[in-house]
Structure 1
Amino acid sequence: MKRINYIVLKLSIAMLFVVFTAQAQQYDGMEKIVIDGEVYYLYKVKKSEGLYRISVNYGVSQKELLEANPDAAFGLKEGQLLKIPVISGRNSTKQEIQSTSYIYHTVEQGQTVYFISKKYDVPLKVIYDNNPGSDQTLIKGTIIKIPKELPKEQVTEENENENYIIHIVQPKETMYALSKTYNVSIPKIIESNPALKSGILEIGSSIRIPQEAKEVAVVKNEKQELEDDMYIYHSIEEGETLYSIAQHYNAKPNDVVEANPSADASDLKLGYLVRVPKASIKASKEEVEKGDNLFIYHKVKRKETLFAISRKYNVDVEIIKSVNSDKDLTRLRKGDKIKVPNRYWFKAIHEKEEELAEDAAKEREEVMDLTELDCNSYDYYLEKQTLKVAIMLPFNVEATLKANIIEEEDDEGEITEREREEKVVSRYSKVFVEFYQGALLGLEKLKEQGVNVEMFVYDTAPDSNKVKSILSNAEMPYMNLIIGPAYPQHLSFVSDFSKEHSIPMVYPFSTINHELTDNIHMFQAMPIDTLLFDKMADKMLESSVGKRIVIIRTEDAKSEFENKFSELIRNKVYWESFKEGVVPDFVEYKFKQDDLASLEKMFAKDKANTVIVPSIEEAQVNRIITTIKGAQSKTKADVTLWGLPEWLKYQTINPEDIHSLKGHMFSYYSVDYENKESSELISEYRKWFRTEPMAISPYFQNANVTSNISRYSLWGFDITYYFLSALKEYGKNFEYCISKHHPYAVQSPLNFERTSNWGGYYNSGLYLLKFDPDYSLKVEQVNK
């Protein structure tokens, strides 16, 4: 490892800056300087110039620029001098710079290859071909090469139709300023970046700016009104307001206001053309009621049940009962006629609820500014709407029914069947039944708060056709929330439905999610390790100031997971040290079995040691921990061992070793049994379901589906209560206020962050478990 005298380096840089300042007026940015053996260009920053433009011009990445100029992380100023690394093959000569064929992109937290392909308008295949290994999850700080020019055969229709400019938000920028800079209306910017409805422009975040599409053909309709595919254009007459125009067209007032951001509602000029969104115009009463079209009149067949009728029309049994309250549906006879609601009925009910909600909203507030969503103005108890939630999980009722039938052979060899006296749940159903039981406790807690909830529970087993059938149910477009599905193969169907109807959806079980970057309404509930690498690494290093940092790698180190996490920690260690002008006390060691002596030499005797094992391979982790314990016992070194969430599932790890090594482990789940609310809820669960609930991952146990404990009930409670209480607190726009939502949770520190301004949310909630040598355990929530 090359050691640098950073004090001398700092002085050298300072002196060079003084020398070159006098020549700055004539300086063209091509003269090279040498500092401690490294070759750089010295470049003077021009007015309003940013790192990105300089990096493109010189064929380096922003990361490489920042490593050479740490102060640039705080922004550039006109006249500031930058060191630009000279890299052979990229920018070592003027000709190379002028012919540079790549842009170098530094990956930021949460970015994917898909995101980068859209940012630079190149096909995914081009990035994969130019960056081997990029088909795996990207780590923050990775440098990606983007070709400036594409071969003709690689330019796709998708690229030609992608009409976006990517803008990086700068300090003090506003939506108004962006709209003027790019000559694009605020509503169009928000349409391309739905997350901006919150009104928050986060510095450094990426914004998609739509380039103006071709002019839309405008024609006159039968009433001689101007219209195009999206709008009717109404000419203002005396005395008219935006609200009266909305009423005239039977459209939602908020949508009319949002479609006309430049109109002054208090001073509408005669003749001004107001845009009325066609998508907002509701069906007239005549259309809904035409021919008594709210119901299908079903004639009951012989031995036909109410359940069979509900399945036939995809309408819930309880809804059919409610519209036939004058009939006794418990005794159906052949020839009876019953009413079954159709889509018009559901539409009419939904519109009535919308009208009541809008009336209540008008009484308490003015129309909300599109770009300044107020998270404190909603009051559920003024309207007290019924919150509708759909739970779509593979309960596999058929499997449970089959599990409760016992076949027996009598003395004559005949096979008979009987039902179990003590009912059981199929092993295929257990996890999802537990989740549902927890959800019921969440509803009970909301009921105590006076919240009305209507839960629609659907069994998605056995296949995708069942999921499609459920989504076609008449009531589904009017849900406030969808929880499900459970499996990745069903996700695209539900995600498309969620986007089409603007319904928030929670994906509660799998971590395989290909829809997250493309669905603004998606919540990825199960934490994804790779998205939390940065958060884990920061916590490790924050707790390691003044200590020796030792990374112990597996011998073959083939795991992509291990390699990327190790690289991230290494980069952070050197980056922080470089900024401070010190040489880091950092050791990286590849573990060899039975090589105890080498490991003993790694540990410092005069200071504490942070030992990080980035592997999630159980056999390797177990061997490494055992060896660390042996080396620590022999050297008496002060060691703190850091581990990953996966470790808590391993049964081969000796918990005593973890305590002895002051184990610090990240976890997504932890139950505080001393907390009063948690204890009361767990007692209530025992009373209701006569079994013991516990965290999904009990420490150093791999609890399986056949165990008698309930692993997913607390998860079901946390998810259901978190999202329904968000609906109660913030209304249908709760997605844009989710960062303010921190309700009571039993086992999971739910905390959602967006993947981008046009993507969904991922759960960044994280605990740090601290195992002490006295066998005590401390739990800390990682907030950074």
Structure 2
Amino acid sequence: MNNLIRLILVPLFLLISLIAFSQVDVSKVKKVIDGKSYYMHTVAKGETLYGICNAYTITKEELALENAELFNGLQPGMELKIPVKDAPYVEDKNFTVHTVAKGETLYGIAKKYKLDVNELVSYNPEAANGLKIDQKLRIPKENKVTPDYQVTKDAKYIFHVVERQQTLYSLSKQYEVTQEQIFNENPGLEQAGLKVGEVIKIPNPHYAPPKLVFPTDSLPEVIDTAKQVIPVVVDKKPCETFNYKEYNKPFRIALFIPLYLGKNSGVEVKKAIKEEEKFYPGTIFIEYYEGILLAVDSMRRLGINVELNVYDVAKDSSRMEELLKNDIFKQVDLIIGPFYEKNLEIVSEFALANNITVVSPRAVRTDNKNDNSRILYLNPSNEVLMRETAKKLASRENLNLIYVHLGKEEEQKMITLYKEEIDIYLAEHPEKTITHSAVVYNEKGQKGITASLITGKDNVVIIPAIDRSFVLSFLNSFYPSVKDLLKTSVSIVGMPVWTRYDNIEVENLHDLQLHLPESSYIDYKDPGVKKFIKTYRAVYKTEPSVRSFQGFDMMVYFLSVLREYGKDFQDCLGDYNTQLLHTSYKFTKESETSGYENRFIYILVYDKEYNVIPMEDFLKPVEKK
């Protein structure tokens, strides 16, 4: 039922349950923003998304992708951008109609009617994206009329018609931008050069990207949290060439995230109550997205200029391929996602060809067939988890390791990884001794384990099993068999997937002092965590999940890295020391051609006081004795 409550709390899905709506008047105010035309609709009291979408014949998902602030809820006075869709021409006494013929240009048409090109675009905003044969253009008659589209001074782009003898150098001086900025906005221009009559996009140097508006009483909390987690750079010698103060354009980030807006937008509440699990996948990604939005707004207010473009992409590989055909993706500085394996393979290939770094929030390196040096994996693979767990365990004193398995090949491979890391550690620390043995549970059972326990030693039983029935049977029966031996120190090391299993006796986990390797841990006593939770509640009217922390930390980290090193930062990550809210990142690569994998983990311990804490904290009382 908690998942259903979350669905209802997220404004996009809450609003679909409304069956009544007030009359919505279509706005007469239109603007051109980033070369695209919009109605500017001010929400009136009593209006709903259902009513607004009906009035403008737009879907809720289309509206949401243009107005991220809807995740904060629909409020009277809120100004929404609503895309103007193509519609049949309606005769207007103030305008005549020009039908575009083959070979005609904006410059030529404007000159024919004695208009400025920008004025012509203001009446026909769709023309900013190029002319089509037989396209209808509105031309004002002799009596001047007020354009119903406002091309504002702070618009992101200026549309310039190339005149004779103009050069890129003269244009860059005229508009106070660099030639590189002009090239970035006009793919192919660098190779083809300027042509008289051609319309090119000039970035407006005075444009300030819009910011999300958060409640004023919570805003300082977000800023303080972001300040706390901006990483400290250690030894920058290999990566000192980038200077953010001289970098006068925004970092462009493309986020491919499965919000399932199309699927969930038509959900009936009664049906959702009966089948809530079908709608849950969308909400977990919304939680991630909400954390990202908080991070972006916080970092903007700290002076980082960022342009975040969001694409609702799930498992449809054909949609992914179609999106990447657009040249705008060749100009981005960072790609986050996609979240599904097949699409990650497509994006990985694209990123390598275009020298763009991709952050994979979900997949592990071993899942990506197109793994390459442009990919960063936030989730450690099972191999990394085993090796890093072994390193942490090896640092403990008086250790006796007992490997328990069912004889399965995958389990034996993981035990081999443990042994390899233990051998490396012992070679580096010849003064230490670690005893270890293996028990094939199918053959020796629990008696084999108890026989391997050594009184006076720190006994750690390692079980790299994911077989649900075996894990449940073992955990619920092993404790009673060894409780009389608990004068002997015994701990169990399991797998992260165990936390998803039902019917485990929690009391047994704490009595056995279960150890689980995880990449995430939230300390609710931490001041930064408290501030984040307070802000999240104020903005989204609900509790943050671990995915909310993941989205926030990930975006804060990579925006900070971009500011420090620029877009080609991956070889600098070894020098980067971070303090985030729920995790840290420690990226390494296996070879020159492989992707970068996060190797940071916690070992979380279920202690006998019914806490779940990092192993370092668990061992502190032992060290004091």
TM-score above 0.5? yes
Provide the C-alpha distance between the structure 2 equivalents of 1:690 and 1:317, rounded to a whole number of angstroms. 18
Provide the C-alpha distance between the structure 2 equivalents of 1:479 and 1:510, rounded to a whole number of angstroms. 21
What's the counterpart of residue 267 of structure 2? 403
CA spacing shift, 1:730–1:652, aligned 2, 3 Å: same
What's the counterpart of residue 128 of structure 2? 340
Say if 1:769 and 1:778, in contact at 8 Å, map to a contact too.
Answer: yes
Provide the C-alpha distance between the structure 1 equivalents of 2:424 and 2:322, rounded to a whole number of angstroms. 54
Correspondence for 1:547 among 371, 385, 399: 399
Correspondence for 1:729 among 556, 559, 564: 564
What's the counterpart of residue 534 of structure 1? 387
CA spacing shift, 1:537–1:383, aligned 2, 3 Å: same
Question: 1:546-585 residue pairs with structure 2 within 5 A?
Answer: 546-554=398-406, 557-558=407-408, 560-571=409-420, 580=430, 585=435
Deviation at 1:391, TM superposition (A): 0.8
SS in 1 for 2:591: coil
Provide the C-alpha distance between the structure 2 equivalents of 1:317 and 1:605, rounded to a whole number of angstroms. 64
Deviation at 1:514, TM superposition (A): 5.2
CA spacing shift, 1:447–1:639, aligned 2, 3 Å: same
Question: 1:764-775 residue pairs with structure 2 within 5 A?
Answer: 764-775=599-610
Correspondence for 2:291 among 401, 414, 438: 438
Say if 2:468 and 2:501, in contact at 8 Å, map to a contact too.
Answer: yes
Letter in 2 for 1:546: N
What's the counterpart of residue 637 of structure 1? 488
Provide the C-alpha distance between the structure 2 equivalents of 1:499 and 1:748, rounded to a whole number of angstroms. 28
Provide the C-alpha distance between the structure 1 equivalents of 2:266 and 2:550, rounded to a whole number of angstroms. 27
Deviation at 1:604, TM superposition (A): 1.4
SS in 1 for 2:439: strand
SS in 1 for 2:493: strand
Deviation at 1:671, TM superposition (A): 0.7
Deviation at 1:725, TM superposition (A): 1.6
Correspondence for 1:590 among 429, 435, 440: 440
Cα deviation, 1:32-70, whole Å, max 9, x if unaligned, reads xxxxxxxxxxxxxxxxxxxxxxxxxxxxxxxxxxxxxxx
Question: 1:32-71 residue pairs with structure 2 within 5 A?
Answer: none
Question: 1:327-726 residue pairs with structure 2 within 5 A?
Answer: 334=90, 337-338=124-125, 339-341=127-129, 351-353=179-181, 374-404=238-268, 426-461=279-314, 463-511=316-364, 515=368, 518-543=371-396, 545-554=397-406, 557-558=407-408, 560-571=409-420, 580=430, 585-591=435-441, 596-635=446-485, 636-695=487-546, 712-726=547-561
Cα deviation, 1:185-214, whole Å, max 9, x if unaligned, reads xxxxxxxxxxxxxxxxxxxxxxxxxxxxxx
SS in 2 for 1:392: strand
SS in 1 for 2:335: strand
Say if 1:682 and 1:693, in contact at 8 Å, map to a contact too.
Answer: yes
Aligned length: 423
CA spacing shift, 1:305–1:342, aligned 2, 3 Å: farther
Greater RCO (Cα-Cα under 8 Å, separation 6 or more)? 2
Provide the C-alpha distance between the structure 2 equivalents of 1:575 and 1:474, rounded to a whole number of angstroms. 48
CA spacing shift, 1:738–1:402, aligned 2, 3 Å: same
SS in 2 for 1:762: strand
Deviation at 1:446, TM superposition (A): 0.3
SS in 1 for 2:569: helix
Deviation at 1:305, TM superposition (A): 8.1
Say if 1:596 and 1:627, in contact at 8 Å, map to a contact too.
Answer: no
Cα deviation, 1:747-771, whole Å, max 9, x if unaligned, reads 2322221231122211112012133
Provide the C-alpha distance between the structure 2 equivalents of 1:630 and 1:297, rounded to a whole number of angstroms. 68
Deviation at 1:470, TM superposition (A): 1.6
Question: 1:96-111 residue pairs with structure 2 within 5 A?
Answer: none
Mean Cα deviation higher: 592-601 or 609-618: 592-601
Provide the C-alpha distance between the structure 2 equivalents of 1:664 and 1:462, rounded to a whole number of angstroms. 34
Letter in 1 for 2:417: L
What's the counterpart of residue 279 of structure 1? none
Say if 1:389 and 1:453, in contact at 8 Å, map to a contact too.
Answer: yes
CA spacing shift, 1:781–1:517, aligned 2, 3 Å: farther
Whichever structure has more helix as a proportion of its residues is 2
Provide the C-alpha distance between the structure 2 equivalents of 1:432 and 1:463, rounded to a whole number of angstroms. 16
Deviation at 1:499, TM superposition (A): 1.5
CA spacing shift, 1:692–1:501, aligned 2, 3 Å: same
Deviation at 1:496, TM superposition (A): 2.0
Say if 2:402 and 2:438, in contact at 8 Å, map to a contact too.
Answer: yes
Cα deviation, 1:582-627, whole Å, max 9, x if unaligned, reads 9963221122599554433221124332222221223222332334
SS in 1 for 2:588: strand
Say if 1:520 and 1:759, in contact at 8 Å, map to a contact too.
Answer: yes
Say if 1:498 and 1:521, in contact at 8 Å, map to a contact too.
Answer: yes
Provide the C-alpha distance between the structure 2 equivalents of 1:451 and 1:350, rounded to a whole number of angstroms. 20
Provide the C-alpha distance between the structure 1 equivalents of 2:610 and 2:561, rounded to a whole number of angstroms. 38
Deviation at 1:577, TM superposition (A): 6.6
Provide the C-alpha distance between the structure 2 equivalents of 1:604 and 1:647, rounded to a whole number of angstroms. 26
CA spacing shift, 1:434–1:770, aligned 2, 3 Å: same
Q: Give 5+ residue unaligned stretches, structure 1.
A: 1-294, 319-327, 357-371, 408-418, 696-711
Letter in 2 for 1:399: K
Letter in 1 for 2:343: H
Provide the C-alpha distance between the structure 2 equivalents of 1:350 and 1:547, rounded to a whole number of angstroms. 62
Letter in 1 for 2:388: K
Letter in 2 for 1:353: Q
CA spacing shift, 1:747–1:649, aligned 2, 3 Å: farther
What's the counterpart of residue 54 of structure 1? none
CA spacing shift, 1:568–1:497, aligned 2, 3 Å: closer
Deviation at 1:480, TM superposition (A): 0.9
- Give the TM-score of the pair, scaled to structure 2: 0.59
What's the counterpart of residue 577 of structure 2? 742
- Give the TM-score of the pair, scaled to structure 1: 0.48
Provide the C-alpha distance between the structure 2 equivalents of 1:374 and 1:689, rounded to a whole number of angstroms. 41
Deviation at 1:482, TM superposition (A): 0.8
Deviation at 1:746, TM superposition (A): 2.4
SS in 2 for 1:429: helix
CA spacing shift, 1:734–1:463, aligned 2, 3 Å: same
CA spacing shift, 1:735–1:351, aligned 2, 3 Å: farther
CA spacing shift, 1:682–1:574, aligned 2, 3 Å: closer
Provide the C-alpha distance between the structure 2 equivalents of 1:596 and 1:373, rounded to a whole number of angstroms. 55
Letter in 1 for 2:571: Y
What's the counterpart of residue 97 of structure 1? none
Identity percentage of aligned residues? 23
Deviation at 1:522, TM superposition (A): 0.8
